[in-house]
């Protein structure tokens, strides 16, 4: 087997978007197939390369997922690489990027087990509406929207409960995102390939299995120059190279651009709309397969 396209046991099949990638790999005579990271029957020594695509349940068992990534990376090439996955699965990476000059959404960092007066924190910062989100999350899990009227009641109860379980982030909600949306910039093999505009959270988790059908094709947009520059800056600051990334951006009330998140584990790529992105992704994976084949061949034919 050349390539394992990594999914998860709850959604073991490739997404509609990733099926276009699979076809492109097959057209390059690359043997590729979907395998769930948490399938106990899978022998991870078989692939030459593994490419993480839709492990949409990783946030439920982050330690197990990162242990899996570490083990696989010792067997063959893993994209994105294990050190990068360890770095980005907890949103503390945003603090590091902010310290290095990236304009991140203002954030109140709340450690597990701490006590935070949500209403007071909002008043002190002038935030009338906030987003509460877990530091380890996916698909909108645990992310809710709270206004100042509910901060001392529902918001406080929710934050107290979640802080008993894990670290949390409190961020202001930018109202113009309702009209402009969240902008996702995609970087594949070092190049911005496309961008989409997505609706903001609505206080409920998204459904992973509906990834491709939830956005109409007119969600595809041309990224602005400042969005492209910021996306490249973020990617350049990552601790290791990345084969693929989704950089999520929003504008504040004054129109200033801010980084929301960098999706490096399981980003939806909406490849079906951008043939050039499919080809670039497939070419990058084919290159990695060729490198792995050459490495394997040199190990087999080492002279005595």
pLDDT in tens, 31-90: 999 999 999 999 999 999 999 999 999 999 999 999 999 999 999 999 999 999 999 999
> Over 60: is that where the pLDDT of 189 sits?
yes
C-alpha 54/C-alpha 44 separation (Å) is 17
CATH topology identical between 3-86+272-300 and 108-172: no
Contacts 24+ apart (CB under 8 A), 224-232: 226/257, 227/183, 227/185, 227/195, 227/257, 228/185, 228/192, 230/102, 230/103, 230/185, 230/257, 230/259, 231/185, 231/187, 231/192, 232/187, 232/192
pLDDT digits (tens, 9 = 90+) for 105-141: 999 999 999 999 999 999 999 999 999 999 999 878 8
CATH 3.40.50 fits 3-86+272-300, yes or no: yes
Stretch 242-257: mean pLDDT: 95
pLDDT-derived band of residue 3, with 50, 70 and 90 as boundaries?
A: very high
- According to CATH, the topology of domain 93-103+177-268 is D-amino Acid Aminotransferase; Chain A, domain 1 (3.30.470)
What is the overall mean pLDDT for the chain?
Answer: 92
pLDDT of residue 299: 62
Question: What percentage of the chain has pLDDT greater than the value 90?
Answer: 84
CATH number for the domain whose boundaries are 108-172: 3.30.1490.20
Instruction: Assess whether pLDDT exceeds 70 at residue 208.
Output: no
Domain ranges of the chain: 3-86+272-300, 93-103+177-268, 108-172
What share of the chain in percent tops pLDDT 70? 93
Does residue 9 sit in helix, strand or coil?
coil
Under a CB-based contact definition with an 8 Å cutoff, are residues 241 and 288 in contact?
Answer: no
């Amino acid at each position: 087997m050349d390539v394992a396209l990594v999914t998860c046991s709850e959604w073991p099949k490739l997404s509609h978007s990733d099926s276009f990638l699979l076809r492109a790999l097959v057209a390059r005579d690359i043997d590729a197939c979907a395998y769930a990271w948490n399938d106990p029957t899978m022998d991870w020594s078989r692939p030459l390369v593994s490419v993480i695509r839709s492990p949409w349940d990783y946030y439920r068992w982050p330690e197990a997922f990162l242990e899996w990534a570490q083990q696989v990376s010792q067997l063959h090439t893993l994209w994105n690489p294990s050190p990068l996955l360890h770095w980005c699965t907890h949103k503390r990476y945003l603090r590091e990027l902010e310290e290095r000059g990236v304009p991140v959404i203002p954030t109140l960092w709340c450690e597990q087990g701490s006590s935070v007066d949500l209403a007071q924190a909002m008043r002190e910062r002038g935030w009338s509406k906030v987003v509460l989100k877990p530091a380890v999350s996916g698909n909108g899990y645990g992310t809710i929207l709270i206004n100042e009227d509910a901060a001392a009641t529902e918001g406080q109860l929710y934050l107290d409960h979640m802080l008993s379980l894990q670290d949390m982030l409190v961020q202001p909600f930018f109202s113009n995102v309702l009209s402009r949306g969240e902008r996702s910039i995609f970087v594949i093999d070092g190049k911005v390939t496309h961008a989409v505009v997505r609706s903001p959270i609505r206080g409920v988790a998204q459904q992973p299995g509906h990834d491709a059908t939830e956005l109409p094709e007119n969600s595809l947009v041309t990224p602005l120059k400042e969005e492209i520059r910021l996306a490249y800056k973020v990617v350049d600051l990552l601790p290791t190279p990345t084969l693929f990334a989704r950089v999520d951006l929003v504008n504040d009330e004054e129109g200033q651009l801010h980084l929301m998140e960098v999706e490096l584990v399981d980003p939806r790529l909406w490849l079906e709309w951008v043939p050039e992105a499919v080809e670039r992704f497939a070419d990058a994976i084919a290159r990695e397969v060729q490198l792995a084949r050459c490495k394997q061949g040199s190990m087999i034919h080492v002279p005595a």
